[in-house]
């Protein structure tokens, strides 16, 4: 149980996928201009991550012990088909959300956070339960980082920022400061 | 004929600076920031990306008429994943030390939006020749950006370049630069520089146009 809590907190805060592994930066910088959208994208990503963790465990246990060189290709195919499924589901259930997410929903496929999750979980040889907890932590951590950046960006829209620094340059510097703040969590578990 | 070769030159050169994938289009950030804490890692990553981008652009452009439109993204990804697997095992065989340091980020080249973006936006719509030139230009631009970032971070964070110490023992390394926040900050500042140069260039061009109008 303690191990599971540790895995969860570590993926959520200490080794946050966005701010310390640099995974999933494209949606992080691209769609984080409104709180609402970034929260929903974060949730969609968390959902895809949970399914990815499940699929990658099945693949690892039953297929890849026989053919390890197929790892990358089989992971990416499974992830791509999952995303297609989610895309159809979202289009059916909420056309407004579908329009709001736009190009970034199909691009979850090329979101390195998803593939990174599958690869990291494999490298750490997590079991099924550990993998799912890890995915949940990573997904929520991604959502947290997205929402934080979106909140800061919404604030900065009202303030007077020089034209030169506006856009990606400023977002990256904000992300750098956030990342510095998250480094503070590194001491969280050292006593235990 | 002259026009055709000019277009080819244009496709080759645009990726290096004007449409630089990192500075101008902000693509492929994830591997970009994660591995650029030293110049050597940056070159290994750039080389692997170069191989994958050029190889998959060639295959996609060659097979574009056989790939059904509905499943094109999946086809592109499988092609890219194949090349990445080759690159992964090649690096493991040739330079195991660097491969270990890059770790999970070599397989993650698959998810580099730059590569898929070029297939979707360019290679699947053009001839093999143009696709190759475009891929070479884009990959060179990506490598240039990686190297710039890696060099800045290694010099400031470690006081060295390619592992060779540049300063005396008095130099106190800025450890933050090789940690994650340093990546974000350095790239942010480099983008700022790029923006500044772009604005200056636009002003210069405006003045040239104005001066020409004034003359005529």
In this structure, the number of other CB atoms found within 10 A of the CB of residue A129 comes to: 13
Tens of pLDDT, residues A107-142: 666 677 888 888 888 888 888 888 888 889 998 999
Q: Which residue of B has its CA nearest to A84?
A: B74
User: Per-residue pLDDT averaged across B67-89, rounded?
Assistant: 85
pLDDT at B130 over 80: yes
CA angle B124, B126, B129 (to 5 degrees): 115
The alpha carbon of residue B37 is apart from the nearest alpha carbon of chain A, in Å, by: 12
The alpha carbon of residue B46 is apart from the nearest alpha carbon of chain A, in Å, by: 17
pLDDT at A192 over 70: no
Candidates B82, B181, B196; nearest CB to A180: B181
Q: Do A169 and B110 lie within an 8 Å CB cutoff?
A: no
Query: B156 at the A interface (CB within 8 A)?
Result: no
Beta bridge mates, B160? B165
Task: Note whether residue A190 is domain-resident.
Answer: no
Range of the domain at A29: 2-185
The whole-angstrom separation of Cα B106 and Cα B103 is: 6
State the alpha helices, DSSP H only, in A124-167: 128-158
Percent of chain B with pLDDT over 90: 2
Confidence (pLDDT) at A102: 58
Task: Note whether residue A176 is domain-resident.
Answer: yes
Confidence (pLDDT) at B103: 77
Judged by DSSP in three states, A15 sits in coil
Confidence (pLDDT) at A191: 41
Rg (CA), chain B: 20
Task: Note whether residue A46 is domain-resident.
Answer: yes
Confidence (pLDDT) at B97: 83
Tens of pLDDT, residues A9-67: 888 888 888 888 888 777 777 777 788 878 878 887 887 888 888 888 888 888 777 77
H or E stretch at B161 = strand B160-161
Interface of A with B in 48-77 (CB under 8 A): 69, 71-73, 76-77
Confidence (pLDDT) at B15: 74
Please say whether the beta carbons of B46 and B87 come within 8 A: no
Candidates B30, B34, B82; nearest CB to A73: B82
Judged by DSSP in three states, A20 sits in coil
Q: Which of A16, A33, A79, A110 has the highest number of chain B CBs within 10 A, making it the mutation to test binding with B? A: A110
Task: Note whether residue A115 is domain-resident.
Answer: yes
Confidence (pLDDT) at B71: 78
Please say whether the beta carbons of B160 and A137 come within 8 A: no
Task: Note whether residue A170 is domain-resident.
Answer: yes
The whole-angstrom separation of Cα A169 and Cα B26 is: 10
State the alpha helices, DSSP H only, in B63-173: 72-94, 96-102, 113-121, 128-158
Q: Which residue has the higher pLDDT, B88 or A86?
A: B88
Number of domains in chain A: 1
User: Per-residue pLDDT averaged across A61-79, rounded?
Assistant: 79
Q: Do A168 and B184 lie within an 8 Å CB cutoff?
A: no
Tens of pLDDT, residues B5-37: 777 777 777 777 777 777 777 777 777 787 887
The region of weakest confidence among A62-66, B92-96, B136-140, B208-212 is A62-66
Task: Note whether residue A181 is domain-resident.
Answer: yes
Tens of pLDDT, residues A168-188: 788 888 888 888 888 888 777
Please say whether the beta carbons of B178 and B37 come within 8 A: yes
Q: Secondary structure of B6-21 in the HEC alphabet? A: HHHHHHHHHCCCCCCC
Give the side-chain half-sphere CA count within 13 A for B97.
2
């Amino acid at each position: 149980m303690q191990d599971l809590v540790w895995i969860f907190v570590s993926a959520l805060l200490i080794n946050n996928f966005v701010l310390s592994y640099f995974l999933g930066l494209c949606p992080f910088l691209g769609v984080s201009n409104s709180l609402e959208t970034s929260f929903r994208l974060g949730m969609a990503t968390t959902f895809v991550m949970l399914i990815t963790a499940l699929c990658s465990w099945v693949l690892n246990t039953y297929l890849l012990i026989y053919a390890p060189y197929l790892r990358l290709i089989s992971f990416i195919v499974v992830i791509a088909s999952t995303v297609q499924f989610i895309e159809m589901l979202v289009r059916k259930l909420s056309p407004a959300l579908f329009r709001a997410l736009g190009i970034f929903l199909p691009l979850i496929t090329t979101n390195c956070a998803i593939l990174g999750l599958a690869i990291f979980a494999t490298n750490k040889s997590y079991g099924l339960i550990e993998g799912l907890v890890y995915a949940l932590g990573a997904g929520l951590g991604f959502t947290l980082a997205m929402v934080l950046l979106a909140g800061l960006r919404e604030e900065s829209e009202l303030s007077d920022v020089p034209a030169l620094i506006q856009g990606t340059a400023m977002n990256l510097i904000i992300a750098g400061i956030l990342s510095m703040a998250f480094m503070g969590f590194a001491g969280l578990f050292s006593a235990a | 004929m002259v026009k055709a070769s000019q277009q080819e030159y244009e496709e080759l050169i645009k990726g290096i600076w004007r449409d630089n994938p990192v500075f101008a289009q902000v693509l492929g950030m994830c591997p970009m920031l994660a591995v650029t804490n030293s110049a050597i890692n940056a070159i290994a990553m750039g080389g692997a990306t170069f191989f994958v981008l050029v190889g998959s652009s060639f295959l996609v452009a060659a097979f574009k008429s056989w790939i059904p439109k509905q499943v094109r993204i999946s086809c592109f990804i499988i092609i890219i994943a194949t090349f990445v697997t080759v690159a992964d095992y090649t690096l493991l065989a040739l330079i195991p030390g660097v491969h270990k340091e890059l770790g999970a980020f070599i397989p993650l080249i698959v998810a580099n939006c730059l590569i898929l973006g070029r297939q979707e936006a360019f290679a699947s719509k053009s001839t093999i020749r143009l696709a190759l030139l475009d891929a070479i230009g884009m990959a060179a631009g990506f490598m240039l950006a990686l190297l710039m970032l890696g060099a800045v971070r290694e010099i400031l964070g470690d006081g060295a370049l390619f592992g060779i110490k540049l300063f005396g023992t008095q130099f106190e390394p800025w450890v933050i630069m090789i940690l994650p926040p340093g990546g974000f900050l350095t790239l942010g500042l480099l983008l700022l520089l790029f923006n500044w140069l772009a604005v200056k260039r636009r002003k210069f061009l405006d003045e040239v146009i104005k001066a020409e109008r004034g003359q005529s």
